[in-house]
Amino acid sequence: MNRSSLLLAALAFAVTLLVTRHRGSTARSTIVAGVVFGVVLALGWSWQRFLSVSPIQISKQNSAGDDSAVVSGDVASPSGVNPVELLSSRPIEVLGGGYVSSDRCEQCHAAQHKTWHASYHRTMTQVATTKTVFGEFDGREFDWPGGSCRVFRRGDQFWIEMDDPDESLTGVEKRIERPVVMTTGSHHMQVYWYPIGKQRSLGQVPVVFLKSEKKWIPRNAAFLMPPDMGSGPETSRWNAACLWCHTTRGRTRPVGGFDQPLQLVGMDSQVAEFGIACEACHGPGDRHVRYRNGKLPELKSDPIVEPSRISHQRSSQICGQCHGLTVSHSRRHLELEAMNGTSFRPGEALSASRWVVRYDQPTKQHLEQFGSGVSMLTDSFWQDGMIRVSGREFTGLMESRCYSEGQMSCLSCHTMHPPEDESRPLLEWANDQLKLGMDQDQACLQCHQDGDYTAQSHTHHASQSMGSRCYNCHAPHTTFGLLKAIRSHQVSSPSVAESTQVGRPNACNLCHLDKTLQWTADYLKSWYQIEPSPLDDQQRSISAAVLWAVKGDAGQRALAAWHMGWRPAQEASGTEWIPPFLADLLLDPYAAVRFVAFKSLATLPPYESLEYDFVGQPGTWPEAKERVSEIWEGRSRRRSGFGEVLLNPDGRLDEQRFDTLKKMRDDTPIYLAE
């Protein structure tokens, strides 16, 4: 028991004794004061005990081979580890700096709190519990690049047994068991984190769980990255990187300073709130609460920020703090933010607190000086500066004339709080948090005249067709992440030059998959007087989608494969010619490409029951490809041959031309840094 607790208890005893003696008998006063003394003493002891709990230390599996684990010198019970010890070994929520938490907001803003609570922003980071974990910790075992692992439960706790991912850091090869204490993600996949025994630093479980597929996959299969990348340790990544955009006011707080790699130092990481909460968008709420309670009479207006009531640039920059690509202004700035949290506050200019990354020379120079190099640019942008990776929607928006010269903002299409009379279920709204009707032309017709832009004279497509939808031409799916193609948020017009000069698939050929770049160039010149770019023989005679799928880089192959399963493209291009190209991509070296190809094949009725595991044994993949080929060959009489998609007059694949293209595949390593 420390001196502070004793002094506090003694003071409480004296005050209580004086007050009660003034009001009643001496005996009763002494009894009441004694009870108060005991309660205060117990509370002080409990609080001191909580603060002094050391991080858990979990050994490798014991020699008996059972599921028990050593925790702080004691054998864990079958129900797991003492929750207090787990609490001391993971990041925690600590208010301060004017933050009051979403619970305080709910007291006055119940409707807004309800919609936020239904969003995936709230569940971006959560403490691992039976209510938050949806991964199937059912005792199964599987391999991951670098070792093997087993996921299981002890009572209400989730555990991982594995070869230590930190072997390359420690030089010690061992088998370890760790409890899962935190989760990241809840929309498409979920990543899990375990304590490493250094303050509140976390390690990443080397497998993630796909929600819709109900499937465990290796971590490096969840992203578009080279096969030999992503199998190393992810120690402290959550503390050093993820918490910036997956929590509210995250602070890394390395205990040992910044002079050694963060993987090797413990971190006392804290956040105001797990997930993206109210104050991430509206600013710290303490002064707002006090103003509304009449405690700040000197203020002439409410200090809280309402994004819909400020300029379209500043409101979008609130989203841009996470949905934009930014870096620190300097190493000193990075260190200050790591200790104190981001200096950005909603309503301020984002550039004042962060370097907003663009694909330009000043950014390249800054990255080189900062030590990041230019890999951030090559891993995030097409060569003309359009963003190509998901999660960076503001980076695309800010390069759009609709934003720089008009009034378009994130809130033009999205809403963080649908109205109370919203007709859609909250779960449907939460998928993209779009305003009602913003998945149609109304998104553009807020500013552009209906008669001018939806008329067939402008679109050159039937008015109700998908080819006449504004966003299919001006915001095509040219970014990639979360194992799928995603719409570009940089508004642009289709051109053949974007495909020939920087490799980005254009909107026309992403819908008309069976057509060549020459075909597109001819129509763009006829309809919009766009001068054609020089084309080579293949670009003039072979479908652009086929070229991207067979000889493109991994990013192009993924986009081509996704669009082969996209309903509007299937309706415009037909599907009978598609299977052999998707079948070949089942053998692609990139796991993300294999996944997308398999998903697209499953949209075609003859192949919807195909057995294939994109992260299974590679030796089984050729069998799946052969099965697709057998089914497809058996349907050859239903096809007419056309050379743009490499079919012979008899409807069969021109193997020679296909192999020629395959030998030209662009194997440049591609990593899209989500």
pLDDT tens for each residue of 312-371: 999 999 999 999 999 999 999 999 999 999 999 999 999 999 999 999 999 999 999 887
Distances (CA, A) of 243 to 182, 206, 216, 256: 12, 18, 23, 19
At residue 34 the predicted structure's pLDDT band, cuts being 50, 70 and 90, is low
More confident of the two residues 672 and 261: 672
Distance CA 321, CA 314 (A): 11
Beta bridge partner(s), residue 96: 99
For tokens 């000193």, what's the residue? 332
Distance CA 248, CA 344 (A): 12
At residue 638 the predicted structure's pLDDT band, cuts being 50, 70 and 90, is low
User: What is the identity of the amino acid at 137?
Assistant: F
pLDDT value of position 121: 98
Average pLDDT over residues 552-569: 98
Helices within 53-183 (DSSP H only): 83-87, 102-106, 110-117, 167-170
Average pLDDT over residues 12-30: 46
- Other beta carbons less than 10 A from residue 495's beta carbon: 21
Question: What SS3 string covers 583-643?
Answer: HHHCCCCCHHHHHHHHHHHCCCHHHCCCCCCCCCCHHHHHHHHHHHHHHHHCCHHHCCCCH
More confident of the two residues 39 and 593: 593
Average pLDDT over residues 557-561: 98
At residue 4 the predicted structure's pLDDT band, cuts being 50, 70 and 90, is very low
Give all strands (DSSP E) within 420-514, no chain letters.
479-481, 484-486
Beta bridge partner(s), residue 498: none
Sorted by where each begins, the domain ranges of the chain are 3-52, 70-274, 307-397, 472-662
Distance CA 14, CA 27 (A): 14
pLDDT value of position 542: 98
Query: Which of 183-192, 299-308, 450-459 shows the lowest mean pLDDT across its residues?
Result: 450-459
Per the CB < 8 A criterion, the answer to whether 376 and 367 are in contact is yes
pLDDT tens column, 69-110: 333 333 344 567 888 888 999 999 999 999 999 999 999 999
Average pLDDT over residues 21-37: 48
Distance CA 562, CA 485 (A): 6
pTM value > 0.85: yes
pLDDT value of position 171: 81
Distance CA 517, CA 497 (A): 10
Q: Please say if the pLDDT value at position 172 is more than 70.
A: yes
pLDDT value of position 232: 75
Q: At what angle are helices 26-52 and 3-23 packed, to 10 degrees?
A: 160
Distance CA 152, CA 161 (A): 8
Average pLDDT over residues 235-239: 93
- DSSP letters for 57-88: -B-SPPTT-SS--EETTEEPBTTBS-HHHHHT
At residue 209 the predicted structure's pLDDT band, cuts being 50, 70 and 90, is very high
pLDDT value of position 608: 92
pLDDT value of position 78: 54
Query: Which of 122-136, 440-454, 521-535 shows the lowest mean pLDDT across its residues?
Result: 440-454
What average pLDDT does the structure give for the chain? 88
- pLDDT > 90: percent of the chain: 76
Exposure pattern of 149-171 as b/e (b: 16+ CB <10 Å)?
A: bebbbbeebbbbbbbbbbeeeee
Helix, strand, or coil here: 537?
A: helix
- pLDDT > 70: percent of the chain: 87
Beta bridge partner(s), residue 71: 58, 74
